Amino acid sequence: MEGPVELDARQAAGIAVVLLWDRRTYGLTVVAHDAQTDERVEIVVEPEQALEGFRHPFAYVPTRRVSEDLTSRTP
């Protein structure tokens, strides 16, 4: 089985959040997508921070990042 394993997922108010585990590296990643703004973040988290990052992904991001997709769009 290749690729990350989905440990948990949730969706509310247009925001989808997934907690992924990479079985090769044992790394944990939280991926969040806001459908209203089309903002997407990927956060690599330590095991002891995974639940907090999963619960509050946009607050957990150290600095807000804008994906390349958004910066290339014209209004």
The label of the residue with tokens 């992924």 reads 20
Structural domain spans, the chain: 5-62
Range 15-40 average pLDDT: 95
Which tens digit of pLDDT belongs to each residue from 32-65? 999 999 989 899 999 999 999 999 988 877 654 4
Q: What is the pTM of this model?
A: 0.76
CA–CA distances in Å: residue 4 to residues 11, 28, 64, 68: 19, 9, 24, 23
User: What is the pLDDT averaged over residues 12-32?
Assistant: 95
